[in-house]
Each structure stands twice: as C-alpha cells, then as structure tokens.
Amino acid sequence: MLNPRFDEQPDISELQAALTTRLVSDPQLVAPYARDTSRAVATGAPIAVVLAESTADVSTALAWATRAGVPVSVRGAGTGLAGGAMGYDGGLVVSLERMTAILDIDVDNRLATVQPGVITATLDATAREHGLFFPPDPASARISTVGGNIATNAGGLRCVAHGVTTDSVAALEVVLADGRVMRTGARTRKNVVGYDLTRLFVGSEGTLGIITQAIVRLKPVAPGSPRSFRASFSSLEDAGLAVTAIVNGPTQPEVLELMDSLSVEIIESFHPSGLEVPAGAMLVGQTVGLDAETKAEDITTLCRTLGADDTEISETDALLEARRLSNPALNARGLKISCDVGVPVAALARMFHGVAEVSAAHSKRVSTVAHAGDGNLHCTVESPDTPTGISEADAVIDDITRLALSLGGTISGEHGIGSVKRHELGWQLDEVALDVQRSIKAALDPGGILTPDRAI
C-alpha cells in the first residue's frame, strides 16, 4: 500500500530516461532498501532506487520526486537504528553508496572534502596517512557512511574527548527537495554569516535535504602509543559515580565506555575474548599521548579509590573491540528493543539505580552499554520475539526513557528519532518547539516528499 499521502503509483519513465542505469527498479534489487538495521518493520516496497553518482543525479531525482509527489527515503549504508533510511511503499530511494570519493585532504587546514558515501573508517584511515584522524567514531565506523553520520549527528567512542559529529563538520553541499543545490558553512575556523545552516542539516535525518558533499574537520594523531584500561565494579551505581568523577577529574580519557554485567556476558558468549564478567559493571577506556600510561594509571587509581575491585591497563585494543561487539552480540540473540537515552553525566548513578528499579518492576532483564563519558545509554530488554513480548519490552523502554527525561536527559543521544522514536517526541519537545521544527520542514520541503513522517 502506498503512503496514504502519496496515493498514485508514479510513472518513473522520465526519471529512468534521465538516470539510465543509475535507476534500478528490479524488485529483487530494490527489496533490501526497504529496511535499515533498526527494529522497524518495512511496510512495503519502494518502486525504484537511485544509485546516485553525482550531485546532479541527486538533484535530478529530487526535482522529479517533487514534481511527481513521490516520497523519498535517503540512504547511506542503512546501519541506522531509528528506521530513518527505510524505503517507503511506492517511494523512491536515493542511495549515496556510490559517492565514495575522498576529494581532498587539506593537511595545513586539517580539513577533508568528501562525498557522503565514504565509509567512516576509510576516511579515518586515509587521514591517518597524513598524521591526522577523523574524530567521529561510532561503533559502526567500519560499515556506516560519513553522510549518514552527519545526517544522524552520530556519536561514538571518542565523543567524550572530541564531541559528536557536528563538532567535526565545517561545511556542506546539500540538495533541497526541489532539486536546488546549496552550500553552507566555510573552510574557516570562524564563520558568522547568517543562520548556522550547517548545524541545521546535521542531525536532520534526511528530512530537509540530501548531503552530497561535506568539508569535515580532522585532528592531529596524538604522539606515543595509546593505552586501554579496564575497571571492574561490583556495583553498577559505583561505576556511574566513577564516570562522573573521571569526567570532572584532572586526567581526561580519549574513550570512556561502560558495559554492565549482563552486557559483558552477552558479548563474551558471542565472541569470547577472556573478559571476566563483573558483578556490577566494567568501565573500559583509552588514553592517548606520550603520557598515555601515566594517564591510564591515574584513572584506574581513581577507580580503585571509588570502589573498583579489579583494574587492568593494556597496550592492545581488545577491550574496546569487545565493546564494539555489543550491537552484533545483541542482534545474534534476537534482542532489538533498546533505547538511546542520554542523561547529564552527574546523573549517571541515579539513572543506573532507576533502570534497575524499572527492570525489577517489569520482571524483565535489561542489559546496558553506555558511552558513559557522554551519559549516553543503550539499554536493551530481554523479551520474547512475540507480539506480547515486544509490547512488554516497549513498556520497559518507555519507562526508562521517561526516567532519563526526569533526570534532565534526552530521548536520543545519537541514533536520532527516525520512525522508531517518533511517538516520544512530545515527551521532550514542547508544542512551540515542535511547531518551529515543522515550520522549518515546511519551508524547505513544502511538498513533504523528503523522508516524510519521520524524525520530527
């Protein structure tokens, strides 16, 4: 069934003539674009996919979609966890997967100019050849695109030291819904010219325009060898208090993550790496610089004074690799009902206490991994994959989300709203704020063709 707002099956012959082989309409090839990596269920099949190779292709596609009144979904690698990139029934998909060029690395200004489909880890590796790196580091860095990271304002492991994706975006090229091409931002460190449209498009989840080029900021790689560290706590709340102390302390880590005991158990059974399951939780992190060892010692010593029973410092990346496996490990168990809430970092211990209370009240086991230094939690509910099991798990997530809001938090720290969390929007945004968001959407996409009914 087509989206009720778009009730006619479109004639794609004009678009086919313009894009030739860059437009794919074979249902078998189109089918994978109906879904992303979220729990959201596809409601039908798109009619075609534009495998864009240039800004002009994207412009042609959007101008046609606006004329024809066809809903468009935008796709990087489809690793999103909010249902934002899912194809619409009878809609058009614009995929950026072929726009993978790194156009320029400007070492002196520490900038890279890239097409949106470049894989995050590829950009990072290329920058490293010049002694630089790309700070955004989602756990999906090896499979997600820079365009997708920008469109979701992705977070990740290094955020505690370097901020989220928006802090690394200097300028964008964007194709608007009617096909017009616009540039935002500048190559300079400072730029105060008109509204900050770059930040408006960062995190806009494909609803305001399609990012076809980005100038992103790089940073110099710290000298010396990094160290990773672990601190195991018998109490999850003590681990939360330790995070608050570390973040406010004199020694700053590059990475500061948390896995509770159930998460470690799930990760270890998916891919054993010898991690001992703690009674409460495990903090894992990284320090960098010539004094990386001393920094790791300072942080683990602080953890011991705050209740850690066991600590470890390592020259390898194994601890962080284990943390990166949490999403695949949960998926392998069929566990997908999770959240992405954030709380102010000083509220972490209270949040963990509250999550335990919610879990007990619903008699459901909840596992938590967290980009702890940012106060960003992914809690996943163990529940059968049946309609009842799913709705029981949803009720747990709703309570955890309201708990985060009661502590001054947010319903999404990094994954965005997409289609999965749209019902929660009004829990955080007041009516006026929602109205302003909708006005911005209407101004840029009056026909409502771009990623309709998602994100805002």
- What residues make contact with ligand FAD under the rule CB under 6 A? 36-37, 73-81, 84-85, 96, 116, 138-140, 144-145, 147-149, 151-152, 154-156, 205-206, 210-211, 327-328, 414-415, 418, 451
CB nearer to ligand FAD: pick between 313 and 318: 318
HEC letters along the chain: CCCCCCCCCCCCHHHHHHHHHHEECCHHHHHHHHCCCCCCCCCCCCCEEEECCCHHHHHHHHHHHHHHCCCEEEECCCCCCCCCCCCCCCCEEEECCCCCCEEEEECCCCEEEECCCCEHHHHHHHHHCCCEECCCCCCCCCCCEHHHHHHHCCCCCCHHHHCCHHHHEEEEEEECCCCCEEEEECCCCCCCCCCCHHHHHCCCCCCCCEEEEEEEECEECCCCCCEEEEEEECCHHHHHHHHHHHHCCCCCCCEEEEEEHHHHHHHHHHCCCCCCCCCCEEEEEEECCCCHHHHHHHHHHHHHHCCEEEEEEECCCHHHHHHHCHHHHHHHCCCCCECECECCHHHHHHHHHHHHHHHHHHCCCEEEEEEHHHCEEEEEECCCCCHHHHHHHHHHHHHHHHHHHHCCCECECCCCCCCCCHHHHHHHCCHHHHHHHHHHHHHHCCCCCECCCCCC
We find the least distance from the C-beta atom of residue 403 to ligand FAD, in angstroms, to be 21
CB nearer to ligand FAD: pick between 271 and 279: 271
CB nearer to ligand FAD: pick between 36 and 298: 36
Contacts of 365 (CB under 8 A, 6+ apart): 262, 359, 381, 382
The CA distance from 33 to 424, in Å, is: 26
We find the least distance from the C-beta atom of residue 257 to ligand FAD, in angstroms, to be 10
CB nearer to ligand FAD: pick between 328 and 384: 328
CB nearer to ligand FAD: pick between 308 and 397: 397
We find the least distance from the C-beta atom of residue 444 to ligand FAD, in angstroms, to be 12
We find the least distance from the C-beta atom of residue 440 to ligand FAD, in angstroms, to be 15
We find the least distance from the C-beta atom of residue 143 to ligand FAD, in angstroms, to be 7
CB nearer to ligand FAD: pick between 76 and 280: 76
CB nearer to ligand FAD: pick between 278 and 418: 418
CB nearer to ligand FAD: pick between 8 and 183: 183
We find the least distance from the C-beta atom of residue 182 to ligand FAD, in angstroms, to be 13
The CA distance from 150 to 185, in Å, is: 14
CB nearer to ligand FAD: pick between 37 and 380: 37
We find the least distance from the C-beta atom of residue 451 to ligand FAD, in angstroms, to be 5
We find the least distance from the C-beta atom of residue 223 to ligand FAD, in angstroms, to be 26
Q: Name the CA radius of gyration of the chain, rounded.
A: 22
We find the least distance from the C-beta atom of residue 297 to ligand FAD, in angstroms, to be 27
We find the least distance from the C-beta atom of residue 217 to ligand FAD, in angstroms, to be 17
CB nearer to ligand FAD: pick between 145 and 235: 145
